[in-house]
Amino acid sequence: MLAIACPGQGSQTPGFLAPWLDLPGVRNHLEQLSDRAGTDLVRHGTTSDEDTIKDTAVAQPLIVAAGLVTARLLLADYSLTAATVVAGHSVGELTASGIAGALSEDDAVAFVRVRANAMAEAAAATPTGMSAVLGGDPDDVAARLAELGLTAANANGGGQVVAAGTLEQLAALSGNPPAKTRVIALKVAGAFHTGHMSPAVTALEALRPSLTPADPVATLMSNYDGNPVATGDGNLDSLIAQVSRPVRWDLCMESMQSMGVTGMIELSPAGTLTGLAKRGMRGTATLAVKSPEDLDAARSFIGEHSRTTDLDPTLTSEGPQ
């Protein structure tokens, strides 16, 4: 059984989209997404520097667009069904929703535009941040975070938790970490997936009437509890609430394993989720699509891990919308 994984914020690197522009249709696709996102995704994916693409308002639309571009190229000849799992980490859930048909490409990019700007504004209101906590006893880590008033904003599995809160709280964590842990400050603008992001929830609720959600055609996983979402409205509810509640990628991986996933393919900008899967989904084959050179191997990987009902060459060359 195949899983398609869509990475989240922090996976982008300067120039990562440059090789993709050599492929037919990619520049035009990115320009269309740029119009909807209200930012030049071609420039940001090719020549913008690290500080520019680290900005939340730029990073989130860029990551979603990269995944949609990769998916169109990779899945152009196939129609996904419920026999394929699609999942995304944090903002990657929007990419996954677009691929699975729960949102149109236009709606996914309109959503991420509001999401990114609203989260950036919320982050600017109070000095907050996030730190990865690696290793240690899970109960000890949870107790220390609770003691400091920090939120376990991302539970990524494999002994990795991302703590989020004020800079003072994070400094206290770094100064006195739980036993046998390593604390690494992350280069993000704020405490994402916590109550600090509640203004972004309000902004996304205001966007809701302009969106047209649909029931997903693939099995679309939720970061909330790691379970599939059955309806388009339910997925939209989850996407809106997600910005201020923890991401449970660990539960998504557990569910994928229990469902019988044998192979996970990660869309560009790839590498983070396949790395987590090597620790959290032992025995599951993985493939990271980092450049166009990976496309042939990725197509073979899809054929190897898909059930025959997954692959129905009925789509147009424009691929999934």
Find the CATH number of the domain harbouring 151: 3.30.70.250
- For residue 318, give the 3-state DSSP assignment: coil
Query: Are residue 301 and residue 261 in the same domain, yes or no?
Result: yes
- Ranges of residues in the chain with a pLDDT under 70 are 307-321
Give the whole-angstrom CA distance, residue 113 versus residue 122. 14
Residue 314, pLDDT score:
37
* Structural domain that includes position 157: 125-185
- Asked whether residue 319 is domain-assigned, the answer is no
> CB neighbours of 143 closer than 8 A, spacing ≥ 6?
178
| Residues 66 and 153 reside in one and the same domain | no
Tell me which of 168, 185, 202 is where a domain ends.
Answer: 185
Q: Are residues 91 and 177 in the same domain?
A: no
Given the structure tokens 């494999």, which residue do they identify?
A: 158
For residues 119 and 253, membership in a common domain is answered with yes
- Cα–Cα–Cα angle for 188, 87, 68, nearest 5°? 75
Q: Are residues 268 and 286 in the same domain?
A: yes
Q: Are residues 103 and 218 in the same domain?
A: yes
- Burial pattern 59-93, b for ≥16 Cβ within 10 A else e, equals bbbbbbbbbbbbbbbbbbebbbeebbbbbbbbbbb
278 and 147 within one domain: no
What are 268's two structure tokens? 């560009």
- Residue 319, pLDDT score: 33
Q: Is residue 235 part of a domain?
A: yes
Q: Do residues 104 and 9 both lie within one domain? A: yes
Q: Assess whether 94 and 217 both reside in one domain.
A: yes
Number of domains in the chain: 2
Residues 8 and 87 in one domain: yes
DSSP-derived pairing of the beta strands 219-220 and 85-88:
parallel
How many CB atoms lie under 10 A from the CB of residue 149? Answer: 11
Q: Answer whether residue 316 is part of any domain.
A: no
Active site (catalytic) residues: 90, 193
Q: What is the amino acid identity at position 161?
A: V
Question: Within a 13 Å sphere around the CA of 129, how many CA atoms are in the beta-carbon half?
Answer: 17
Alpha helices per DSSP H over the chain: 26-37, 41-46, 50-54, 56-74, 92-100, 105-125, 138-148, 167-175, 198-207, 232-242, 249-259, 272-280, 295-305
**pLDDT at residue 137, rounded to an integer:** 93
318 inside domain: no
Q: Residue 306: its pLDDT value, please?
A: 85
pLDDT value of residue 307? 63
